[in-house]
Structure 1
Amino acid sequence: MKNFNFFKILLENFYQYLLKALSDVHANIADSYYGLGIIMDNKGDYESSLKWHKKCIQIRNETRLMNDSSIAYIYNSTANVYQKQGAYKHALEYYNKTLNLCKEIFGENHSGIAMRLNNMACIYASEKRYSEALECHRKALIINQSHLPDDHFDFSATHNNLAIVYSYMSQFDLALEHFNVPLAIKSKSTFINQLDTALTLKNIGLIYEMKEDFFQAKSFYERAAAIRHHILSSTHCDVIQIEHDIKRISIKIKEKIVT
C-alpha cells in the first residue's frame, strides 16, 4: 500500500510537470488533466477531480475527431465522481452524455450501452425512481443477452441489481427470482469470489425475512455465515454482521413458535 501511494504521488507530480511543460493546445495536455482528475478522485478530493475532468472535456470537445469515442469515457468518469458526491442530477446528466455518444458511434445494441444503462439505473434507484431503474436494467439485460454467454458475470450483476430494485418496491417474489440467477451462475463457476456468493445468500435470506419466512431466511443466513467464517477472521465486520442476522432471525423464530 505504501508503494502504491508513493507511485500515485510520483504520477501526480509527473502530470503537474506536463502541465507546465506543454502548451495549452498540446495533444497530451488533455490526458494530463484526465490523469489528475482520476488521482484526485482516488484521493477523495472530488471538487478538484471535477475541475480537471472538465478541463479535459473542454479540450477534447475542441479537438474531437469524427467517431472519436474517448470522450465518452471521460463523461462516464465525471458522472462517477458526481455520483460519489451524491450529486445525482449532475451524474445523470453526464451518464446521458456518454450514453448518447455511444449510441451515436456504436449503435443502440453495443455492449458498452448496457454498462451505461446499469450506471443510470443505480442513480435512479438511489433517487427512489424505481420504474426508471427497472427500465434501464431491463434494457441492459436485453443488450447483454445478444453479446454474452448466459453465465457471464455481467448477467449476474444485472440480475442482482434488478433484485435489489424489486426488493425496494416490496415485490419480494420477483426479487427472489432475480437473486436466484446470480446464485446459480456463481454455483457453476470455479472462478467466482466466494464472498460474492455469501452476499447473495445473505440478500436472499433478507428477502425471506421480509416475507416472514423465517426458517428459510435462517437457512440462507447460515449458508452465508459458513462461507464468511471459512474465508474471513471472526472479528471481520461481515462475519459479525451475519452472526447478528442469525441471532435476530432465531429470536423471530422462537417468538413465532410461542405465538
Structure 2
Amino acid sequence: MRDVNGQFIPAEFILRSIDFAGQPHHAIAVRDLRDRRKAEEHIHFLAHHDALTGLPNRNSFNARLDKEIEPHQASAQSFAVFCLDLDRFKEVNDLFGHAAGDALLKRIAKCVTSVLDRNQMMARLGGDEFAIIATNLSSPSVAGRIAENIIEALRIENESSTTASFVSTSIGVAIFPNDARDGRGLLTHADTALYRAKTDGRGVYRFLEAAMGVEVRDRRMLEHDLRTAIARQEFELAY
C-alpha cells in the first residue's frame, strides 16, 4: 500500500468469497506488515551480528573469510587476518564491574572500526576477542600499517578514558597465501601470532613466524603435562 505521503507500506491481503444478503461478495482483510518486517530484520541482524557491539559475529566472520579465498587465489593478491584481544580486560571487569567492561568493548569496537576502510571487516568472536579481515593488500607491510593505526587509535582513545591503562590491544597477523591457504588455518596462525604479541609485552603486533607454531605447541604440551603431573605423582623434590 501507499500512504498519504506516497511512502510504501508492506501489507498482506486476504480475500474470501462470501454470501451477503443473498448476493456473492468479496471480503478483503488488510494486515500492516511493518512491525513484522522490523522483527524479522532484527532477528536476521542478531543471527549475524554481536548484540553488544553491533559488529559481525563469528559465523559472519568465518563466512566472509571463506568467501575471500577464491577471488584472492585467482588474482594472486594477498589479504590479512588479524586477531586482537584486549590487554588486562579481566581487570576492568573486576575493578569497575561488567557494565564498565561492556562499555569498554563497545568503545573499542567504535574506535577500531573508525580507522578501517569499507573493504575491511571487524568482528567480535566472543568475550574480548576480535578479528579483522583486510583484503587486496599490495604487500604484507600494508597489514603492518593497519595494525599500527589500530594501536595508535587506541592510544589516543586512552587520553580521554577513565580506564586509560586498560585500553590497549595485542594483535597477531597472518597473511594469505603465505601463512595458510584456508580460513581456519589463517585464523589459527593469527591467534598464534597474537600469543607471541602478548608474551612480547602487550600493546604490540606480531606477524606469524614459522617457529611460533612449534613454541606454542610445546608450551601447551608443557601446560597439559603440569596439570596432570600431581595426579600422576610425577613431581620429585629436588631441594
TM-score, with structure 2 as normaliser: 0.34
Larger Rg computed on CA atoms: 2
More strand by share: 2
More helix by share: 1
